[in-house]
Chains A and B, each alone.
Chain A
Amino acid sequence: MPMSEQDGVGVSRRSVLLSAGAAAGMLGLGGHSALQSLTRDETDAAVEGLFDETQVLNTACAPNCRGKCPLNVHVRDGQIKFVEPQMTDDERYRRGCLLGQSHVQRVYSPKRLKYPMVRADWEPGAPNPGGRGEDARFEQVSWDDALQYVADEMRRVRSEYGPESVFFHTGSGDNGMGTTLFGRLASMFGGTQQSWSIDSNVGVGFNRITGHGFFLPPTNESADWVNANTIIVWGSDLFKSQFQNDASKVLDAIESGAKLVVVDPVYTTTASKADLWLPIKPGKDTHLALAMIHTVLADGSYDDAFLRERTTAGALVRDDTDEMLRMRDLEGDADDDRVVGIHAETGEPVPLEPDTYAEIELFGEYEVDGIRATTGLSLLEDHVADYSPETVASVADLDPADIKTAARWLATRGPGGIAPSYALGRYKYGHVFGQTYAILLALTGDYGKSGTIHAQHPAGTTLNSGEYGSPDGAPGTQSLSMHEVPAALEDGEPFPIKAIYGMESNMLANQFPNRQRWHDLLENVDMFAMADFHRTPTVQHADIILPAAHWFEREDITDAWGSHPHISHRTKAHEPLWDARDDYHIIAELADKLGYDDLFLDDKRAELRKIASNDDRFDFDELRRKGNVRVEDEAAGIKYTDPFPTDTGRIELYDEDHPVEDDGTVLDLPRPIEDRTATDHDLADEYPLLFMQKHSKWRIHSQWADNAMVRKFNAEPTLDIHPSDARERGIDDGDYVRVYNDRGEVVVRASYNEGMRPGLINIDQGWWTDDYVHGSHQDLTHMEVNDLAPTFAFYDVRADVEPAPETIDTSKYTAPESADWLEGYPNGGDN
């Protein structure tokens, strides 16, 4: 039967939803489900007529991973039954991971929020912030009341403190148009939006050299990675986390003969596939990259043509000022700020143009017009003399021959590159590593070619929404970096924050370090509203709870920053369950209540069409039909082909700005700086273990933590610990342990792992507070940031471990009546 004639699907969907809403029934195990009773009779027929009865709709998964995978959703009897990778416009990108393919259990999670709710002891003018937290109780209210509370508080705060005191907070929870819509409202209202202090570390260091990068720098699209001859995966388990959807690309490169090098203190799945694994000591990454530079220079295996054409390797640096010699310093025009090299044949000074080969000396000290100067490459060569492979091997606990091998493969095997993840930036001074490997890849000439790699973050595409986010008459927003928010909350500096509306975020469980401190800081806020589709710990901490639709319950457009070159479409598979609403409708109604009646069209599809009309690379109707459209051409998938956006248009090996870090280290050339990873750190004796919280394959940040299909495989948080560290502390495999430091503690089961470097422990991030028998991984982390690229240093943390106290109640895992992620919350959405 053609789908158009099958109107029964729509009817049954509607009645299913009405029944479920009226009964307020849980979809959880053991509970009687209205969905079940309505569809059971049809089960046999459904099996026989499987593909006659099933609609396959396009949608896309888009948490903040490297996937953003277009998916097919199979819908039958008004229920989502199955999810699979969707064929993509460029078929090399049809892929998905276990998370994308377990959305059924996300949509039908017992932790879905059902109704708008307000904390029972909150009211306008009497917020009782002390009542927030795990024991807070909520009362169901109408949408109208909930949004009126939010609108009234936003207006009150604006008039009492100023518009910037209203904080429009988003995490990275979805890559649909939600943030774009939200930004439009924030701009019109004049509130504050945050900028990131997470993972913007390595990229900032890379930027100092190349002009590219904030988060990880751009890199070629993943389909090009097969052309790499050497891939150095640095501090990343890319086959296990965030990138496994593109595993085929890396595997194809290996199959074609590429060498895979993995630099990681942990023996990971990725390390298990490597030709060479460098089991580095944590915090020594910059040392290692400097030793690789040392090797390339000592071998003379650098790409001299590339250095002459696209870098300042041969540019002279004045001995007197430590700044680059410029044409204006000679007899040139006073405005001529071109840098200068020495021509190899004439010995005369010549200006260096962007991306223009110049036959110049790469090494040497010269005197030009009475000015003594040295080439940037000579300064670098002198600098790395202190970082020979032998010296670094003893610091980083590696074998010097392996360091040389890695460097030689990179330098001599043709195009290749380095793919760091965000882990390196989770050490306080990770930006220095960014600076260092940007220089290393310049020496090996690995920019702007097919097969060159710079990050675990392949070229994707971003929707061009034009001026949509800045409507006419909008005052615009203030910006606060995340690490600046505490001072705003606590001291009102640079301005107070008194009302927060958050969406697509579970910051209080996973993304903000030093969790207890944030709870204290939030006591200064009068109104904290959260929109989400699950009852996360952050939602539990809010005053006003706004139940949002799951991604599959709304029409939307997703783009694929750092992922793949397609724009994708989401079809609404069914109406939002219970009283949940598309974020668009929540935001549009809030705008109405704030007096911005004309800000949104009140028709989501028309609104999407309006946003999409700013991007001439695709047609919205075509996108809706096809599900995804490749919008970037192949050439755009190769990065760094244009002149570098630096002052010279070249990669600047020597940084004449002389950036200075908080400890006084000058970074004209990369110098390793360490915080808590230093063996002589003040805390090293008291807290001898380094504590990291890696991404796992089971979650993207904290998403999917409540997913029954995923918990089937990964039921409980654990501490990965080397058996030698555990035995020394009297800990057996599987024992509950207390992980602690001077800020907090968390209790989890210990899991012996021979692949953990002794001295390093890990709890996979993403677990919700209530998944722990006690504490949270973020109770141990801190908010200290560097000066030059301020980002939270989640892994630069020291701790120790001991057997858990006998008094800790572990029965939720050791003697469960039923796993709690399969049940409703004690005061869940139906009260």
Chain B
Amino acid sequence: MTDYGMVIDLERCIGCNACAVSCSQENNVSLDKQWNRILTEGGDAMDTPEGSYPENGRDGTLSMNHLPLACQHCDNAPCVKVCPVNATYKRDDGIVEIDYDKCMGCRYCMSACPYNARVFNFDEPKTLPTDGTGNVEERKQGVVEKCTFCSHRVEEDLDPACTVACPADARIFGDLDDEESTASRYVEKYETEQLLDELETDPNTYYIRGEMSPGRTRSGNELEGTEKKAVGNPNGVATDGGDGQ
């Protein structure tokens, strides 16, 4: 079996929002919505700390971290349980997905999700350009949507857009059922956290906190278990400088 999951190293995350932007592009997310949010653990405003400024260079208590938050793809997903029309479902490969044709917009799933990972199209989604920038199914007014782990990319043997976009090498995507996958090796080696684990939702998203991991460097390391995915288009990379377009 396959059980897709994500490891996010919060020690490496710099809150740069590259993953957030790439997610919205790839998935054609409305300009007033966000599937992948980079929360600041700190002050009220984005990128501000909590605590007090040092005096004479010492004794300050300022602290700040960033927490990228999207659908956690729970094994025991509360959203799946409450959906009255089975529009939200857990795929065999571990991805929680929504059938937009079935979704009737009751938003029970949004109340049930403890991660606030879902958004609802009260209005027609707004994108620029108008007909969208992404590669995914159109979502109409009145449906709920959220992160799909870029299932359309995963099915093409590509990493999710957020993973490709990250300049801090903080995200690793892979098969948690495969003990030799890179993602599994990171979970095995580093101290990880599943958010709100007391709720027993059993997310497929694991956060490294404490000791920084080496990140998934382009040059490889001992944690590499899965062959790295291609970027671009395996079928249609222009090798002619664009002459053939």
Residues of A with Cβ closer than 8 Å to B?
A: 3-4, 9-10, 13, 27-29, 31, 33, 35-36, 39-40, 43, 46-47, 50-52, 54-58, 72, 74-75, 79, 81-87, 91-92, 94-98, 101-102, 104-105, 108-110, 239-240, 244-248, 251-252, 254-255, 267, 269, 272-273, 278-279, 393, 396-399, 402, 555, 569, 571-573, 621, 624-625, 697, 708-710, 712-713, 722, 733, 751-758, 822
Q: Decide yes or no: A98 and B58 within 8 Å by CB, A104-B25, A269-B15 being known contacts.
A: no
Chain A interface mostly: mixed
A286 to B84, CA, bound (A): 67
Q: Decide yes or no: A108 and B129 within 8 Å by CB, A3-B238, A43-B138, A754-B52 being known contacts.
A: yes
In the complex, the answer to whether A81 meets B134 with C-beta atoms within 8 Å is yes
- Which chain A residues border B46 with CB–CB below 8 Å? 713
A52 to B235, CA, bound (A): 6
The interface-forming segment of B98-106, B174-182, B198-206, B209-217 is B209-217
A770 to B82, CA, bound (A): 47
Distance (whole angstroms) from the CB of B63 to the closest CB of chain A: 7
In the complex, the answer to whether B245 meets A92 with C-beta atoms within 8 Å is no
In the complex, the answer to whether A9 meets B245 with C-beta atoms within 8 Å is yes
- Interface check B14, CB cutoff 8 A: yes
In the complex, the answer to whether A279 meets B54 with C-beta atoms within 8 Å is yes
- Interface check B24, CB cutoff 8 A: yes
A530 to B131, CA, bound (A): 31
When each residue 65-106 of chain B gets 1 if its CB lies under 8 Å from chain A and 0 otherwise, what string results? Answer: 110000000000000000000000000000000000000000
- Which chain B residues border A85 with CB–CB below 8 Å? 164-165, 167, 231
Q: List 8 A-B contacts (CB under 8 A).
A: A3-B236, A33-B129, A58-B241, A84-B22, A255-B212, A399-B58, A573-B242, A754-B49
In the complex, the answer to whether A755 meets B48 with C-beta atoms within 8 Å is yes
In the complex, the answer to whether A399 meets B57 with C-beta atoms within 8 Å is yes
Distance (whole angstroms) from the CB of A263 to the closest CB of chain B: 11
Distance (whole angstroms) from the CB of A26 to the closest CB of chain B: 9
Q: Decide yes or no: A572 and B242 within 8 Å by CB, A279-B57, A399-B57, A752-B44 being known contacts.
A: yes
A273 to B47, CA, bound (A): 13
Q: Decide yes or no: A751 and B45 within 8 Å by CB, A50-B156, A72-B231 being known contacts.
A: yes
Distance (whole angstroms) from the CB of A7 to the closest CB of chain B: 9
A710 to B134, CA, bound (A): 17
Instruction: Tell me the nearest residue of chain B to A708, going by C-beta.
Output: B128
- Interface check B196, CB cutoff 8 A: no
- Which chain B residues border A86 with CB–CB below 8 Å? 231-232
In the complex, the answer to whether A402 meets B57 with C-beta atoms within 8 Å is yes
When each residue 223-245 of chain B gets 1 if its CB lies under 8 Å from chain A and 0 otherwise, what string results? Answer: 00000000111111111111011
In the complex, the answer to whether A82 meets B47 with C-beta atoms within 8 Å is no
In the complex, the answer to whether B20 meets A56 with C-beta atoms within 8 Å is no
Which of B24, B152, B234, B245 is the one whose CB lies under 8 Å from A10?
A: B245
When each residue 132-152 of chain B gets 1 if its CB lies under 8 Å from chain A and 0 otherwise, what string results? Answer: 111111100000000000001
A637 to B190, CA, bound (A): 33
Tell me how many residues of B have a C-beta within 8 Å of chain A. Answer: 77
Distance (whole angstroms) from the CB of A305 to the closest CB of chain B: 32
| Interface-central residue, B126, B232, B234, B237, by most chain A CB under 10 Å | B232
When each residue 10-23 of chain B gets 1 if its CB lies under 8 Å from chain A and 0 otherwise, what string results? Answer: 00101111101110
Nearest 10 A/B pairs, CB to CB: A624-B241, A571-B242, A398-B57, A36-B131, A399-B57, A56-B233, A239-B14, A91-B218, A98-B21, A56-B232
Residues of B with Cβ closer than 8 Å to A?
A: 12, 14-18, 20-22, 24-26, 31-32, 34, 43-54, 56-58, 60, 62-66, 126, 128-138, 152, 156, 161, 164-165, 167-169, 212-215, 217-219, 231-242, 244-245
In the complex, the answer to whether A247 meets B24 with C-beta atoms within 8 Å is no
Q: Decide yes or no: A98 and B236 within 8 Å by CB, A91-B219, A752-B45 being known contacts.
A: no
Which of B54, B66, B218 is the one whose CB lies under 8 Å from A92?
A: B218
A273 to B25, CA, bound (A): 29
Which of B31, B53, B214, B241 is the one whose CB lies under 8 Å from A754?
A: B53
Q: Decide yes or no: A36 and B130 within 8 Å by CB, A82-B26, A754-B51 being known contacts.
A: yes
- Which chain B residues border A55 with CB–CB below 8 Å? 233, 236, 238, 245
Instruction: Tell me the nearest residue of chain B to A270, going by C-beta.
Output: B14
A87 to B233, CA, bound (A): 12
In the complex, the answer to whether A245 meets B215 with C-beta atoms within 8 Å is no
A495 to B190, CA, bound (A): 67
In the complex, the answer to whether A54 meets B152 with C-beta atoms within 8 Å is no
Q: Decide yes or no: A101 and B231 within 8 Å by CB, A36-B129, A84-B161 being known contacts.
A: no
| Interface-central residue, B167, B169, B241, by most chain A CB under 10 Å | B167
In the complex, the answer to whether A709 meets B31 with C-beta atoms within 8 Å is yes
Which of A13, A31, A35, A58 is the one whose CB lies under 8 Å from B238?
A: A58
Instruction: Tell me the nearest residue of chain A to B153, going by C-beta.
Output: A50
In the complex, the answer to whether A82 meets B25 with C-beta atoms within 8 Å is yes
In the complex, the answer to whether B57 meets A43 with C-beta atoms within 8 Å is no
Instruction: Tell me the nearest residue of chain B to A279, going by C-beta.
Output: B54
In the complex, the answer to whether A75 meets B22 with C-beta atoms within 8 Å is no
Distance (whole angstroms) from the CB of B122 to the closest CB of chain A: 15
In the complex, the answer to whether B232 meets A72 with C-beta atoms within 8 Å is yes
Q: Decide yes or no: A51 and B156 within 8 Å by CB, A82-B25, A709-B24 being known contacts.
A: yes
Q: Decide yes or no: A752 and B43 within 8 Å by CB, A101-B18, A240-B16 being known contacts.
A: yes
In the complex, the answer to whether A51 meets B233 with C-beta atoms within 8 Å is yes
Which of A35, A92, A96, A571 is the one whose CB lies under 8 Å from B131?
A: A35
Distance (whole angstroms) from the CB of B121 to the closest CB of chain A: 15
Distance (whole angstroms) from the CB of B36 to the closest CB of chain A: 11
Distance (whole angstroms) from the CB of A261 to the closest CB of chain B: 13
Instruction: Tell me the nearest residue of chain B to A265, going by C-beta.
Output: B53
- Which chain B residues border A239 with CB–CB below 8 Å? 14-16
In the complex, the answer to whether B242 meets A246 with C-beta atoms within 8 Å is no
Q: Decide yes or no: A278 and B57 within 8 Å by CB, A272-B65, A708-B31 being known contacts.
A: yes
- Which chain B residues border A398 with CB–CB below 8 Å? 56-57
- Which chain A residues border B233 with CB–CB below 8 Å? 51, 54-56, 72, 74
- Which chain B residues border A278 with CB–CB below 8 Å? 57
Distance (whole angstroms) from the CB of B64 to the closest CB of chain A: 4
In the complex, the answer to whether B165 meets A96 with C-beta atoms within 8 Å is yes
A278 to B56, CA, bound (A): 10
- Which chain B residues border A13 with CB–CB below 8 Å? 245
Distance (whole angstroms) from the CB of A626 to the closest CB of chain B: 8
- Which chain B residues border A75 with CB–CB below 8 Å? 245
Distance (whole angstroms) from the CB of A470 to the closest CB of chain B: 28
In the complex, the answer to whether A108 meets B14 with C-beta atoms within 8 Å is no
- Which chain A residues border B152 with CB–CB below 8 Å? 47, 50
In the complex, the answer to whether A267 meets B14 with C-beta atoms within 8 Å is no
Q: Decide yes or no: A102 and B25 within 8 Å by CB, A3-B236, A33-B129, A81-B133 being known contacts.
A: yes
In the complex, the answer to whether B22 meets A101 with C-beta atoms within 8 Å is yes
In the complex, the answer to whether B135 meets A81 with C-beta atoms within 8 Å is yes
- Which chain B residues border A248 with CB–CB below 8 Å? 12, 167-169, 215, 217
A254 to B51, CA, bound (A): 25
Which of A27, A54, A393 is the one whose CB lies under 8 Å from B57?
A: A393
Distance (whole angstroms) from the CB of A413 to the closest CB of chain B: 18
Distance (whole angstroms) from the CB of B224 to the closest CB of chain A: 13
A96 to B26, CA, bound (A): 15
A86 to B48, CA, bound (A): 32
A722 to B221, CA, bound (A): 43
Q: Decide yes or no: A245 and B167 within 8 Å by CB, A4-B244, A87-B231, A713-B20 being known contacts.
A: yes
| Interface-central residue, B32, B34, B215, B235, by most chain A CB under 10 Å | B235
